[in-house]
Amino acid sequence: MHTVILEDIVAGLRAIGLPLGATVLVHSSLSSFGHVEGGPEAVVDALLQAVGPGGTVLVPTLTGSAALGPQNPPVFDVRHTSCWTGLIPETFRRRPEALRSLHPTHSVAAIGPRSQELLQGHDLCDTPCAADSPYGRLVKLEEAYIAFLGVNLGCNTTFHHLEEEARVPYHLQPEPVLATIIDYDGQRHERRLWLHQYGVPRKFARPEPYFIARKIERMGRIGNCTVKLLQARPMADYVRARLRADPFYLVGGQPSP
């Protein structure tokens, strides 16, 4: 089995165009690399080294599920609720220097100078990926990227922000929930908000040929892992326009009423 070291990951990210000082949201699969010397800690270190001290790395630390709804509202403890997005995000969020947003289903963890700017107030958003969520704020930045390490665009949570912005009819549950959020001080807060409606098939790879043709997306390899890097703002601009023309653009097949 091929062994990947920290320097391989940094070099691979450089090769596909991730610059020093960048802000990057990272979706990942540790197993996709093959064997990584140092495990998920080495991947986190490599990401931070790739952007340097002036850059900011974010990872989705999602906790939502189809089981949640008005009759079973989420209870989220920012310090202790594990995410289901993989070993790399779970390792990342546990770092002492990491901050995590307080949203009960779609939290994001970040390390770097823009962490507070991007994460603050996520719990005040009425929907998981609203304009003032980390996903909405990311696509407004000039020098921001979304990286996919061994995963495809099917996990691109930022597309949900664009669906929410477009007010597509299939995306949110019809009734709000009263969620419980436990903050870093152990204080409990209740927030009334809307959750995602699970089960609607998505076709998030649909715009990828356009991204590649326009050089919005670049690809490479690190060990056994295919890596992809998207420029966040032009990605959002294109998909926003497509959703404006067709609200079902990102759906695999029009859902039943």
DSSP assignments along 179-248, one per residue: EEEE-TTS-EEEEEE--B-TT--B-TTTTHHHHHHTTSEEEEEETTEEEEEEEHHHHHHHHHHHHHH-TT
What's residue 115's pLDDT? 98
Q: What is the pLDDT of residue 256?
A: 36
pLDDT band at 1; cut points 50, 70, 90: low
Tell me the three state secondary structure of residue 73: coil
Average pLDDT, the chain: 96
Helix 6-15 crosses helix 39-51 at what angle (to 10 degrees)? 40
Check pLDDT > 60 for residue 255: no
Structural domain includes residue 208: yes
User: Would you say residue 241 has pLDDT above 80?
Assistant: yes
Q: Is residue 160 part of a domain?
A: yes
Q: What does the pLDDT read at residue 253?
A: 58
Residue 141 resides in a domain = yes
Q: Which domain holds residue 10?
A: 3-63+83-167+199-245
Domain contains 190: no
Q: Which amino acid is at 246?
A: D
Residue 257's pLDDT is 33
CA dihedral (219, 51, 112, 136) positive or negative: negative
- Mean pLDDT, to the nearest integer, of 210-229? 97
Q: What was the pLDDT predicted at 180?
A: 98
| Domain contains 15 | yes
The answer to whether residue 189 is domain-embedded is no
Annotate 190-223 with b (16+ C-beta within 10 A) or e (fewer). Answer: ebebbbbeeebebebeebbeebeeeebbbebebb
At residue 2, the pLDDT reads 77
Q: Is the pTM of this model over 0.85?
A: yes
- Checking if the pLDDT of 251 tops 50, the result is yes
Percent of the chain topping pLDDT 90: 96
The answer to the question of residue 194 being in a domain is: no
Predicted confidence band of residue 79 (pLDDT cuts 50, 70, 90): very high
Give 105-131 pLDDT, tens digit per residue.
999 999 999 999 999 999 999 999 999
Question: Is residue 212 one of the residues assigned to a domain?
Answer: yes
Q: Domain tally for the chain?
A: 1
